[in-house]
């Protein structure tokens, strides 16, 4: 059976019809032609069905509407009506739990979206929302099917509307395995996580040809919207990998740490890492001198189960770390300043990155642990004019709005507004701890002394000696490690080596926490 011969024969007996059914199914499963499959592989890409097989547990996929065809006419479409209409939809399991999926088949119309194609996606999205299970989209399409005109564009509108309705209800994951241009790029942007593969996946609103025509800038597809660009510059992509196999395996790993929906908790596992395991290494990892950098990732590895965590947006806004991990087998989200990058300051991008992560954790019942070593917000004209007030408020709003268990630990510096924003007790953290190396203050001692004692310093015979004396006095009075604890702003100052046990015991106590927000249609977060 071919695209040009769409009408099946009619046989009289049941056996003949069943045989015909299997023939039609085999045709739909095989795709348009061996040549089209070869062309797909020549680009270094797998077929849609091969991708689904890698994503889902073996033998678990159940396809919906494999025999769907478009009804469009004109421009030669009436003579070409392939089965599936260029998108494969259905459900299966990942680690034994139900997951819905749709995958563009680039071999058919370049994966372009037409009316029937869109209706298949709408249906599977509706099923995912109704069943309360994650939705994974495997994107490899050339945008709207031009031959179908506005009907194709309306199909995108239906997808966007469902993306928005599903937001915070079920996990939505977009895996970019080919081109995604124009309005089509907004669906991944509405989902919780975006995965990309180097060299083969690109995302942009207007392509290189349009950019060159309008601005005169000459740029390649990968230079404009490739995986590395979106992972490190724009922040559109959360994860990037070198090949599809690794990418899809990591999607499976991420799904293992997410609940099915917002009414469930993330899946627990048995951990062989002892709850009471002490870590003497932490005493050497974090220098007491607040001006010396260190790698916060090493601190996280020491605390969490078996040193394993999945970092989100690893290459974007590197001055803050957002990661999913486990403590005693229970999933937690970690937000931590990274002193190795910009000294761990908060800036526009770090605030946006952490705010979205906090909102995701709160939506899907994932407790949040915040590790503070923050000297403040990044000063500068660019930051102020870029709206650091507005963007910093996003992180503040996200924390204040979160009802999941929240624990913060001050490792070293926690200065000014950044200390408040990074889940301090005053904005609703359930428990706040500090290491004996903590310095919680309005600003650093040097800056504070210059402001408070400027007259004494200016009038002194030796201004520098006086300044050093005042810095020492300020530290002794207002910045000693127990100042915040004495005032109830920190629940306890803990031994760093016991951090893991303290967190696990505290999270176990908070597991049954229940908190309600005021009745409202929705908040109006800063944009």
Give the model's pLDDT for residue 153.
Answer: 84
Q: Known catalytic residue: 143?
A: no
Domain count, the chain: 3
pLDDT classification of 402: cutoffs 50, 70, 90: very high
Whether residues 69 and 145 fall in one domain: yes
User: Among 113-127, 312-326, 446-460, 485-499, whose mean pLDDT is lowest?
Assistant: 446-460
pLDDT mean over 442-469: 79
CB count in 10 Å sphere of residue 401: 15
Is the residue at 418 inside a domain? yes
pLDDT mean over 388-398: 97
Does pLDDT of 377 surpass 70?
yes
- The DSSP secondary structure of 498-513, one letter per residue, reads GHHHHHHHHHHHHTT-
Is the residue at 191 inside a domain? yes
pLDDT in tens, 271-285: 999 999 999 999 999
Whether residues 249 and 330 fall in one domain: no
User: Among 14-18, 109-113, 248-252, 378-382, whose mean pLDDT is lowest?
Assistant: 109-113
What domain range includes position 454?
444-480
What letter does residue 4 receive in the DSSP assignment? T
Q: Known catalytic residue: 79?
A: no
Q: How much of the chain, in percent, has pLDDT values that exceed 90?
A: 68
Residue 211: exposure state from Cβ atoms within 10 A (0-12, 13-18, ≥19): middle
Is the residue at 379 inside a domain? yes
pLDDT in tens, 233-265: 999 999 999 999 999 999 999 999 999 999 999
Q: Known catalytic residue: 418?
A: yes
Give the model's pLDDT for residue 1.
Answer: 42
**Domain end position, chosen among 257, 289, 319:** 257
Q: Known catalytic residue: 417?
A: yes
Whether residues 335 and 468 fall in one domain: no
- Going by C-beta distance under 8 Å and a sequence separation of 6 or more, which residues neighbour residue 483? 440
The two tokens of residue 107 are: 């071999």
List strand residue ranges (DSSP E) for 233-360, in order.
Answer: 239-241, 309-312, 320-327, 330-337
Whether residues 317 and 245 fall in one domain: no
Whether residues 109 and 183 fall in one domain: yes
pLDDT classification of 8: cutoffs 50, 70, 90: low
Query: Long-range pairs for 376-381 at CB < 8 Å and ≥24 separation?
Result: 376/345, 376/346, 376/415, 376/416, 376/417, 376/418, 376/443, 377/345, 377/346, 377/347, 377/416, 377/417, 377/418, 378/342, 378/345, 378/346, 378/347
The two tokens of residue 300 are: 């996280």
Is the residue at 160 inside a domain? yes
Whether residues 426 and 451 fall in one domain: no
Whether residues 127 and 168 fall in one domain: yes
The two tokens of residue 364 are: 């899907």
Whether residues 309 and 411 fall in one domain: yes
Whether residues 301 and 413 fall in one domain: yes
Is the residue at 275 inside a domain? no
Give the model's pLDDT for residue 459.
Answer: 82
pLDDT mean over 205-213: 89
Does pLDDT of 478 surpass 80?
no
| Beta bridge partner(s), residue 101 | 90, 136
Domain CATH code at residue 336 = 3.90.226.10
Does pLDDT of 209 surpass 60?
yes
- Going by C-beta distance under 8 Å and a sequence separation of 6 or more, which residues neighbour residue 209? none
Is the residue at 525 inside a domain? no
Of the residues 28, 133, 398, 418, only one is catalytic, namely 418
pLDDT classification of 56: cutoffs 50, 70, 90: very high
**Kind plus residue range of the DSSP H or E element containing 139:** strand 135-139
Is the residue at 5 inside a domain? no
Of the residues 110, 168, 182, 387, only one is catalytic, namely 182
pLDDT classification of 436: cutoffs 50, 70, 90: very high
Task: Round to the nearest angstrom and report the end-to-end CA distance of the chain.
Answer: 54
Whether residues 151 and 294 fall in one domain: no
**Residue 396 and residue 394: Cα distance in Å, rounded?**
5
Of the residues 110, 183, 207, 447, only one is catalytic, namely 183
Is the residue at 265 inside a domain? no
pLDDT classification of 7: cutoffs 50, 70, 90: low
- The DSSP secondary structure of 175-240, one letter per residue, reads EE-SEEEGGGGHHHHHSSEEEEETTT-EEESS-HHHHHHHH-----HHHHHBHHHIIIII---SEE
Of the residues 110, 168, 417, 447, only one is catalytic, namely 417
| Beta bridge partner(s), residue 202 | 179, 226
- Global pTM reads 0.92
pLDDT classification of 4: cutoffs 50, 70, 90: very low
Does pLDDT of 432 surpass 60?
yes
Give the model's pLDDT for residue 453.
Answer: 78
Whether residues 501 and 449 fall in one domain: no
pLDDT classification of 11: cutoffs 50, 70, 90: low
Please provide the average confidence, as pLDDT, over all residues in the chain: 92
Whether residues 339 and 215 fall in one domain: no
pLDDT in tens, 302-356: 999 999 999 999 999 999 999 999 999 999 999 999 999 999 999 999 999 999 9
The two tokens of residue 211 are: 């950019």
pLDDT classification of 9: cutoffs 50, 70, 90: low
Does pLDDT of 358 surpass 80?
yes
């Amino acid at each position: 059976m071919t695209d040009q011969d769409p009408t099946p024969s009619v046989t009289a007996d049941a056996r003949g019809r069943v045989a015909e059914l299997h023939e039609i199914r085999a045709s739909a499963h095989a795709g348009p032609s061996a040549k089209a499959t070869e062309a797909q592989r020549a680009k270094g890409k797998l077929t849609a069905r091969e991708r689904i097989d890698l994503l889902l547990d073996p033998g678990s996929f159940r396809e919906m509407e494999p025999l769907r065809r478009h009804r469009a006419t004109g421009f030669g479409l009436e003579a070409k009506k392939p089965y599936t209409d260029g998108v494969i939809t259905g459900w299966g399991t990942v680690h034994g739990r139900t997951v819905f999926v749709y995958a563009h088949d680039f071999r058919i119309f370049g994966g372009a979206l037409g009316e029937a194609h869109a209706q298949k996606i709408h249906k599977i999205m509706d099923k995912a929302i109704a069943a309360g299970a994650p939705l994974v989209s495997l994107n490899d399409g050339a945008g709207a099917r031009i031959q179908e005109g506005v009907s194709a564009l309306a199909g995108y509108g239906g997808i966007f509307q469902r993306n928005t309705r599903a937001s915070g209800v079920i996990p939505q994951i977009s895996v970019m395995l080919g081109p995604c241009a124009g309005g089509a790029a907004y669906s991944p942007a509405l989902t919780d996580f975006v995965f990309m593969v180097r060299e083969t996946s690109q995302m942009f609103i207007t392509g290189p040809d349009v950019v060159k025509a309008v601005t005169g800038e000459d740029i390649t597809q990968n230079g404009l919207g490739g995986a590395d660009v979106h992972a490190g510059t724009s922040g559109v992509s959360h994860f990037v990998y070198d090949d599809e196999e690794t990418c899809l395996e990591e999607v499976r790993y991420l799904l293992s740490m997410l609940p099915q929906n917002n009414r469930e908790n993330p899946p627990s596992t048995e951990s062989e890492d002892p709850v009471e395991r002490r870590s003497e290494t932490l005493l050497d990892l974090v220098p007491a001198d607040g001006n010396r950098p260190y790698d916060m990732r090493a601190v996280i590895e020491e605390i969490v189960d078996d040193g394993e965590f999945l970092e989100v947006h690893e290459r974007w806004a590197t001055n803050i770390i957002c990661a999913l991990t486990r403590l005693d087998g229970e999933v937690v989200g970690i937000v931590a300043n990274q002193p190795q990058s910009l000294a761990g300051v908060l800036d526009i991008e770090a605030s946006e990155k952490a705010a979205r992560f906090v909102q995701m954790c709160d939506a899907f019942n994932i407790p949040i642990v915040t590790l503070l070593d923050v000297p403040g917000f990044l000063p500068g004209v660019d930051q102020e004019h870029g709206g650091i007030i507005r963007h910093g408020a996003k992180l503040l709003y996200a924390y204040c709005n979160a009802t999941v268990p929240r624990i913060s630990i001050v490792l070293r510096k926690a200065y000014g507004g950044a200390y408040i924003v990074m889940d301090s007790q005053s904005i609703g953290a359930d428990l706040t701890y500090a290491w004996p190396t903590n310095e919680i203050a309005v600003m650093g001692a040097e800056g504070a002394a210059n402001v408070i004692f400027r007259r004494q310093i200016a009038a002194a015979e030796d201004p520098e000696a006086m300044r050093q004396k005042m810095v020492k006095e300020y530290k002794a009075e207002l910045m000693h490690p127990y100042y915040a604890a004495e005032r109830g702003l920190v629940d306890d100052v803990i031994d760093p080596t016991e951090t893991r046990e303290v967190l696990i015991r505290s999270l176990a106590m908070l597991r049954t926490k229940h908190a309600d927000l005021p009745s409202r249609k929705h908040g109006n977060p800063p944009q």
